[in-house]
């Protein structure tokens, strides 16, 4: 916003683009052993602002003996302006998500968003490959929706501990994606096997861009393959947040920019970043 500011437009008003709203919960149910899905009724004008890779900052309720204070960031799992619905997929891990799990149909949840910078799909990227593990798939799911809308070919490589926690496979298939599953249980999720699968895709079909989220090992692998074949990529990253808007500078991570390392805010410059600039953690 600042960078674009010129002397001539200093009086120009800024239109608020971030919504703070109480949304009604349609459902909030367990979808498998580890994950819950929350469906909220949301206004069209809010949903039309959403982009794949963006997040909402949720005011988790004080329920069930849980007293979360700060908001919790959560990536958008699905947004449907026509149906008036927003979906989140989450794993119950701490005070905030435990509190969220107590909410039921008809309850309200205060949300702030959409926030941050989402994924980019350049006009000339025809074959997109996403590689993700665990809950990282929730963040990448709306990318499949976007690829489908834009008529791009998508291959989703989904990694998990065992078959029964492979999420979103049906979802990706329903959007016409080619889905490859690898699991620890079957011994197919090793980095060596992933590398062979990806090299195979590059050799046979050509790959224009990579997308990932959630795994350090997968990031390192994709950085190496991306550099070797000169294929661009993006990664969605997480960090503890306070304000979610860019004011507090709590959620920084280090990135390589040319010859130096700089701190960028995950909430504002991210949560989606250039894959080669990201630093493994």
Partner 1 sequence: MVDLTVDVGSLRLKNPIMPASGTFSEDLADVFDLDLLGAHVTKTITRGWRDGNPTPRVCEVSGSMLNSIGIPSKGVGYFIERVIPFYKRYETPLVVSISGNTADEFATLCSEVSVDGVAAIEVNISCPNIEEDGKAFAIRPSSTFDVMTKLRKATHLPLWAKLTPNTGETPEVARAAEDAGADALVVANTILAMAIDINTRRPKLGNLMGGLSGPSLKPIALRMAYQCARATKIPVIGCGGISSVEDVLEFLIAGATAVQVGTATFINPLAMPRIIDELAAWLARHGYSSVKDVIGSVIDDEQKAGVVFMEAAP
Binding residues vs partner 1 (CB under 8 A): 1-3, 5, 7, 10-14, 16-18, 20, 59, 67-71, 95, 112, 239-253, 263, 268
Of 94 and 176, which CB lies nearer to partner 1 in the complex structure? Answer: 94
Under 8 Å between Cβ of 270 and 254:
no
Angle between the N-to-C axes of helices 191-204 and 216-229, in degrees from 0 to 180, rounded to the nearest 10? 30
Under 8 Å between Cβ of 23 and 41:
yes
Q: How far is the CB of 111 from partner 1 (least distance, A)?
A: 11
Of 17 and 122, which CB lies nearer to partner 1 in the complex structure? Answer: 17
Of 32 and 240, which CB lies nearer to partner 1 in the complex structure? Answer: 240
130's tokens: 């996403």
Q: How far is the CB of 243 from partner 1 (least distance, A)?
A: 4
Of 18 and 169, which CB lies nearer to partner 1 in the complex structure? Answer: 18
Q: Residue 279 and residue 277: Cα distance in Å, rounded?
A: 6
Q: How far is the CB of 105 from partner 1 (least distance, A)?
A: 25
Of 151 and 280, which CB lies nearer to partner 1 in the complex structure? Answer: 280
Q: Residue 56 and residue 74: Cα distance in Å, rounded?
A: 5
Q: How far is the CB of 237 from partner 1 (least distance, A)?
A: 12
Of 71 and 127, which CB lies nearer to partner 1 in the complex structure? Answer: 71
- Angstrom distances, CA of residue 241 to CA of 70, 135, 137, 250: 8, 18, 21, 6
Q: How far is the CB of 13 from partner 1 (least distance, A)?
A: 7
Residue 188: name the closest of 215, 157, 222 by CA.
157
Angle at 84 between CA 132 and CA 89, to 5 degrees: 25
Q: Residue 134 and residue 214: Cα distance in Å, rounded?
A: 8
Q: Residue 277 and residue 184: Cα distance in Å, rounded?
A: 29
Q: How far is the CB of 268 from partner 1 (least distance, A)?
A: 6
């Amino acid at each position: 916003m600042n960078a674009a500011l010129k002397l001539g437009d200093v009086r120009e008003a800024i239109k608020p683009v971030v919504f703070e709203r109480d949304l009604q919960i349609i459902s909030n149910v367990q979808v498998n052993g580890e994950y819950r899905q929350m469906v909220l009724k949301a206004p069209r004008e809010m949903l039309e602002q959403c982009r794949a890779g963006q997040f909402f900052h949720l005011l988790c309720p004080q329920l069930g003996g849980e007293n979360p204070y700060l908001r919790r960031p959560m990536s958008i799992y699905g947004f449907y302006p026509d149906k008036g619905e927003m979906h989140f997929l989450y794993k119950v891990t701490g005070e905030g998500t435990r509190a969220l799990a107590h909410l039921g149909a008809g309850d309200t949840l205060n949300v702030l968003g959409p926030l941050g910078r989402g994924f980019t799909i350049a006009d000339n990227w025809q074959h997109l490959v996403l590689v993700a593990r665990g809950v990282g798939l929730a963040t990448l799911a709306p990318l499949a929706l976007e690829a489908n809308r834009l008529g791009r070919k998508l291959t989703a490589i989904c990694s998990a501990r065992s078959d029964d926690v492979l999420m979103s496979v049906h979802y990706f298939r329903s959007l016409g994606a080619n889905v490859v599953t690898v699991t620890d249980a079957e011994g197919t999720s090793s980095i060596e096997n992933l590398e062979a699968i990806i090299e195979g895709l590059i050799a046979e079909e050509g790959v224009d861009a990579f997308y990932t989220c959630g795994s350090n090992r997968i990031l390192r692998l994709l950085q190496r393959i991306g550099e070797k074949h000169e294929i661009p990529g993006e990664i969605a990253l997480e960090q503890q947040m306070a304000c979610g808007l860019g004011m507090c500078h709590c959620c920084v991570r280090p990135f390589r920019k040319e010859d130096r390392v700089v701190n960028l805010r995950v909430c504002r410059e991210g949560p989606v970043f250039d894959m080669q600039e990201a630093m493994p953690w």
